[in-house]
Amino acid sequence: MRQEEIWDDEAARDYDTPGSGMFAPEVLGPTVDRLAALADGGPALEFAIGTGRIAVPLAERGVRVSGIELSVPMVERLRTKVDAATIPVEVGDMAGTTVPGEFSLVYLIYNTIANLLTQAEQVACFRNAARHLRPGGRFVIELWVPELRKLPPGQQATVWHTEAGYIGLDTYDVLRQQVVSHHFRFGAGREARVFRTPHRYIWPSELDLMGELAGFTLESRHADWTGAEFTAESRNHVSVYRLPPLP
């Protein structure tokens, strides 16, 4: 299934969870704070802007934000929050779509680079970020660390989250570096709903090489948006890549 088919009207309608999950203040606050600091007073471009989870509060902080988004229903939901003059969005693929202007910051968060299912597309995404940045500009990626250490011989799935009414698990194809995330939601009855999304997982070292191919150097890597140390036990990372400044 193509990504634009996955992120349809139903997915866009269910995406926003105000005050909880990835919309919880303790999640949004540090993310917006860090991105505003990295923008350093310049304009920012969000790849896969979605419904504006980060772009809207970042714009409210005074950062000029533009976006690229593949899903028309997601953009339509964004438009219920802000107009096109406030946050302009180009509909298209983040690996190749361009927008007018030059930016001090491009960011791609919440594991979304993994929605590009080939290494070539992921490298193209880095190059597209570089294409939009001014000299010395930064490209920020938030991504999870593949949990292959949890896979014993013969097992292909890991449960990564459970709570009342929800189970999240990933199934891995380690030969092709592919993973499918399964989101099961259920109530008191016998029926459950499942939402599945395919991804290509990326090791941090591979991500760094992609950055190098596009002209970036790794400036920093932390375990979260607050700047916690990245270690061998970290489940996620926020990586900041930078283009060389003008001589």
Does residue 216 form part of some domain? yes
Is the CB of residue 69 less than 8 Å from the CB of residue 50?
yes
Does residue 247 form part of some domain? no
Does residue 23 form part of some domain? yes
| Distances, alpha carbon 139 to alpha carbons 46, 63, 71, 225, in Å | 10, 16, 22, 14
- Give the pLDDT of residue 150: 84
Query: 9 and 63: one domain?
Result: yes
The whole domain housing 224 covers: 3-145+202-242
Does residue 59 form part of some domain? yes
Percent of the chain at pLDDT > 90 equals 76
Does residue 44 form part of some domain? yes
What tokens appear for 167 in the block? Answer: 């189970």
Query: 191 and 230: one domain?
Result: no
Separation of alpha carbons 123 and 113, rounded Å: 10
Contacts of 196 (CB under 8 A, 6+ apart): 180, 181, 182, 183
Q: What is the pTM of this model?
A: 0.91
Query: 11 and 102: one domain?
Result: yes
Does residue 89 form part of some domain? yes
DSSP H helical ranges for 68-163: 72-78, 119-132
Does residue 206 form part of some domain? yes
Query: 135 and 65: one domain?
Result: yes
For the segment 147-165, the average pLDDT, to the nearest whole number, is: 87
Classified as helix, coil or strand, 204 is: helix
Separation of alpha carbons 238 and 18, rounded Å: 23
- Give the pLDDT of residue 155: 85
